[in-house]
Structure formats: structure tokens, C-alpha cells
């Protein structure tokens, strides 16, 4: 069985608490899509660096993924904004900074 992955912006990679998970750093939306096409038991997607113009593309890749994807947003949700990525994910953890990655990994391990 494959391990979970954490898809994280390259510049935040060293800040991520990803014990027991493989890191998949990205600088472009294309790299996120490629990571979501890979083999993994579950994924945590840190979406902070995704450009708005590519959210629909990433959402399609999330829906096509073979395993569950949980989104982590460092900032809290404003209660109004819609994200196609959030809608496509199994769950969203927002407002806890990168500590949300640890909680997402805990949630997907059940």
C-alpha cells in the first residue's frame, strides 16, 4: 500500500509537519495536478499558493484522484468565498496555519 502525500508549496516545504507522509513540493498548478495523478493512500493539499486562474484545473484533478484529498488553508475561511478546490476535496482544514497538515494527516489515517 502506498503512503499519504502532502502536496505543499516549494517555499513552505521545510515548515510542514509531515511525519509518515511523502512530500510533493510544487511551484505550479501543473505540478499539483501531476502529484494528484500519482499513487498515494490519501493526500493533503496545502492550497495557499494556488493561483485563482488554475483552481478549476486542480479541482478536476482532485475529483479524478483515486484516493481522498483533504485541503489545508493556512488562513481561516472568510465565510463567503467559494473555492472549487474546497468543494472537490473530502474535507478542508482552514485557519490553523501549517499545523493543519498534522490534523489532516491524522484525519485521513482513520
pLDDT tens digit string along 50-94? 999 999 999 999 999 999 999 999 998 888 888 999 999 999 999
23: left (phi over 0), alpha (psi -120 to 50) or beta: beta
Q: Among residues of the chain, what percentage have pLDDT more than 70?
A: 98
So what's the pLDDT on residue 110?
Answer: 62
- pTM (two decimals): 0.94
Copy the grid coordinates of residue 48. 495557499
Amino acid at each position: 500500500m502506498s503512503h499519504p502525500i502532502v502536496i505543499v508549496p516549494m517555499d513552505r516545504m521545510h515548515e510542514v509537519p509531515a511525519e509518515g507522509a511523502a512530500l510533493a513540493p510544487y511551484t505550479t498548478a501543473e505540478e499539483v495536478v501531476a502529484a494528484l495523478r500519482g499513487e498515494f493512500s490519501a493526500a493533503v493539499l496545502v492550497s495557499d499558493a494556488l493561483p485563482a486562474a488554475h483552481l478549476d484545473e486542480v479541482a478536476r484533478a482532485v475529483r479524478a484522484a483515486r484516493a481522498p484529498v483533504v485541503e489545508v488553508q493556512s488562513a481561516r475561511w472568510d465565510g463567503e468565498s467559494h473555492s472549487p478546490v474546497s468543494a472537490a476535496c473530502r474535507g478542508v482544514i482552514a485557519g490553523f496555519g501549517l499545523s493543519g497538515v498534522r490534523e489532516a494527516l491524522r484525519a485521513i489515517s482513520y
